[in-house]
Amino acid sequence: MRRKTVRYLSRYLLPALFLLLLSCGQKQNRQSQAVSDSTIVFKHFKLANARRQFQKAITEFERQNPGLHVREEILPSNSNIQHQFYVTSLESHSADFDVFLIDVIWTPEFSLAGWLEDVSDLFPDSVQSQFFPAPIKADTYQGRLFAIPWYIDAGVLYYRKDLLQKYGFTPPTTYDQLVRQAQTIVQGENQKNLNGFLWQGKQYEGLICVANEIISGFGGTILDDSGRVRLQDAPVRQALQWLKDTIYRYRISPRWALSADEENTRLSFLNGNAVFLRNWPYCWTFFQRKGSPVKGKVGVIGMPSISGKQGRSTLGGWQLAVNRFSRKKVLAKKFVRFLSSAKMQLEFALTVGTKPSRRNLYRNRQLQMQQPFIADLYRILIQAKPRPVTPFYAQISQILQIEFSAVLANIRPIPNAMHSASVQIEHILQLEQGTK
Ligand code: GLC
């Protein structure tokens, strides 16, 4: 009973309270600091390590456009919380912000709802083709572009080069190898806090990203190319079983993986407490920084697969969008063009570690020198597996988050959970058919 109450509180009441506080704070802000006609409000999440670079970029934009100002408003980094915030604001046609960062999975939903300004005129087709095709596809709705890919993400596997070498291992390409290496090293090191493999298992969007790529590494998929739900296929069952086994059977992942997100797994690995970590490419700059306990000891590769299958990482990333209810759309577009320029993307890549959405930057010498794995990453990014691209993605993800979590927490058998998820998702897809 108590556990249920706590779950209820943390799942529904606390986020609602948080959003309420956020909007109260912003109202107060607005009253004390009226936004002038020449000020654009840029809303984005708290991107790790990016504070100074954002300020630098804004100063540069203001220098190039005398009289214009940009004011940042910052949201928490959890994708679910940001999504709730935007849905609430945009449903009431809020004009409180002009430019905002959106997750690659939201563009179809926000476009269908009519919340995004058409930005096709910013870049002609010839320039659009310089970007990675998958996020451009996700940002295109009924032939028009509604957001500009700003940076691109794909899941990667970080490993401790020094430890693998010490035990004579080469980086794992299969899940079996990953398990064996993690077990051997953890046993051999006999170090109290050392975990074999960290991943994001909390009930949120990050879990879908992990599951999506493990499923694909087992040769399965959530939806197939013709849009059919494939959750009851054997590879999906095997993938979920493997993830579960990392905790309960192989014991290479700690139980706290079930409440882990990107940042706490990054910190644990940074402090030398894990052999392998699944995370996004942004972590690299943190690991290599001066003072990092793992500096020079980390390698990075694409996600493994079962033998004979091709591992594919989940496609992620963030897009620049213009609020359709903004009263300063022309200025807002100017800022989007500026921030998505090759120069800005390169600066953010070098200082923050975000990965450019413009493909030719992967040939940049400075970036290649600073981040030698960038060439391999290009291959991983180009092959990355998108989550289902549909305006109903948020509902689909919500169902998957509940069912995957129940499986991993060992409270629901895999076949039951996947049957239930399939029935619910099929229903949603039928609704989608009705909107076409
Ligand atoms: C990263 C990805 C984003 C994904 C999120 C999940 O920010 O870029 O696409 O939804 O992680 O936590």
- Ligand 1 atom closest to the Cα of residue 151 is 8
CATH of domain 30-153+316-382: 3.40.190.10
Interval between CA 435 and ligand 1 midpoint (Å): 27
Over the chain, what is the mean pLDDT? Answer: 92
pLDDT at 383 over 90: yes
| Of the candidate ranges 34-38, 94-98, 103-107, 357-361, the one whose mean pLDDT is the lowest | 34-38
Residue-level pLDDT at 50: 95
CA trace torsion 391, 394, 396, 398 (10° rounding): -170
CB of 392 closer than 8 Å to CB of 432 = yes
Token pair recorded at residue 376: 């391999």
Residue-level pLDDT at 431: 84
Give the burial class of 248: count Cβ atoms within 10 A of its Cβ; 0-12 exposed, 13-18 middle, 19 or more buried. exposed
Interval between CA 77 and ligand 1 midpoint (Å): 9
Determine which residue's CA is closest to atom 3 belonging to ligand 1. Answer: 316
CB of 141 closer than 8 Å to CB of 111 = yes
Task: Say if ligand 1 is within 6 A of residue 79 CB.
Answer: yes
What distance in Å separates the CA atoms of residue 228 and residue 39, rounded to the nearest whole number?
46
CB of 405 closer than 8 Å to CB of 118 = no
Residue-level pLDDT at 22: 52
Interval between CA 185 and ligand 1 midpoint (Å): 30
Task: Say if ligand 1 is within 6 A of residue 209 CB.
Answer: yes
Task: Say if ligand 1 is within 6 A of residue 213 CB.
Answer: no
Task: Say if ligand 1 is within 6 A of residue 401 CB.
Answer: no
Task: Say if ligand 1 is within 6 A of residue 156 CB.
Answer: no
Interval between CA 78 and ligand 1 midpoint (Å): 8
Tell me which of 152, 280, 381 to substitute to probe ligand 1's pocket, judged by most ligand atoms within 8 Å of the beta carbon.
280
Task: Say if ligand 1 is within 6 A of residue 316 CB.
Answer: yes
Helix, strand, coil abundance in the chain, percent, nearest 5 = 50, 15, 30
Is-same-fold flag (30-153+316-382; 156-312+392-435)?
Answer: yes
The number of beta carbons lying within 10 Å of the beta carbon of residue 366 is 11
pLDDT at 62 over 80: yes
Token pair recorded at residue 26: 């912003």
Task: Say if ligand 1 is within 6 A of residue 205 CB.
Answer: yes
Interval between CA 280 and ligand 1 midpoint (Å): 8
State the maximum Cα–Cα separation within the chain, in Å, rounded to a whole number. 64
Residue-level pLDDT at 42: 98
Spell out the residues 6+ positions from residue 322 whose beta carbon is closer than 8 angstroms to its own.
98, 99, 116, 117, 119, 329, 332, 333, 336
CB of 219 closer than 8 Å to CB of 309 = yes
Interval between CA 258 and ligand 1 midpoint (Å): 17
Task: Say if ligand 1 is within 6 A of residue 103 CB.
Answer: yes
Q: Each residue of 136-188: pLDDT tens digit? A: 999 999 999 999 999 999 999 999 999 999 999 999 999 999 999 999 999 99
Share of residues in the chain with pLDDT > 90 (%): 89
The number of beta carbons lying within 10 Å of the beta carbon of residue 296 is 9
- The helix/strand/coil state of 40 is strand
Point out which residues pair with 323 in neighbouring strands.
Answer: 116
Q: What is the mean pLDDT of residues 60-80?
A: 97
- Ligand 1 atom closest to the Cα of residue 200 is 12
Residue-level pLDDT at 433: 81
Task: Say if ligand 1 is within 6 A of residue 283 CB.
Answer: no
What distance in Å separates the CA atoms of residue 173 and residue 404, rounded to the nearest whole number?
24
Q: Each residue of 8-17: pLDDT tens digit? A: 444 544 455 5
Which DSSP symbol is given to 225?
T
pLDDT at 24 over 90: no
State pTM to two decimals: 0.91
Residue-level pLDDT at 16: 52
Q: What is the mean pLDDT of residues 231-248?
A: 98
> Where exactly are the structural domains of the chain?
30-153+316-382, 156-312+392-435
CB of 85 closer than 8 Å to CB of 26 = no
Q: Each residue of 207-223: pLDDT tens digit? A: 999 999 999 999 999 99
Residue-level pLDDT at 65: 97
Alpha helices, DSSP H only, in 192-233?
A: 205-217
Overall size of the chain counted in residues: 436
CB of 136 closer than 8 Å to CB of 320 = no
Quote the CATH superfamily of domain 156-312+392-435: Periplasmic binding protein-like II (3.40.190.10)
Written as one string, the DSSP assignment of 226-252 is TS-B-TTSHHHHHHHHHHHHHHHTS--
Task: Say if ligand 1 is within 6 A of residue 280 CB.
Answer: yes
What distance in Å separates the CA atoms of residue 77 and residue 46, rounded to the nearest whole number?
5
- Ligand 1 atom closest to the Cα of residue 280 is 1
pLDDT at 34 over 90: no
CB of 119 closer than 8 Å to CB of 87 = no
Spell out the residues 6+ positions from residue 73 whose beta carbon is closer than 8 angstroms to its own.
26, 29, 41, 42, 43, 44, 97
Q: Each residue of 246-302: pLDDT tens digit? A: 999 999 999 999 999 999 999 999 999 999 999 999 999 999 999 999 999 999 999
The answer to whether the Cα torsion of 325, 329, 331, 337 is positive or negative is: positive
Task: Say if ligand 1 is within 6 A of residue 85 CB.
Answer: no
| Of the candidate ranges 27-36, 85-94, 323-332, the one whose mean pLDDT is the lowest | 27-36
Residue-level pLDDT at 37: 87
Token pair recorded at residue 33: 């600091």
Nearest to 130 by CA among 380, 302, 341, 335: 341
Determine which residue's CA is closest to atom 9 belonging to ligand 1. Answer: 316
What distance in Å separates the CA atoms of residue 40 and residue 338, rounded to the nearest whole number?
13
pLDDT at 21 over 80: no
Determine which residue's CA is closest to atom 4 belonging to ligand 1. Answer: 316
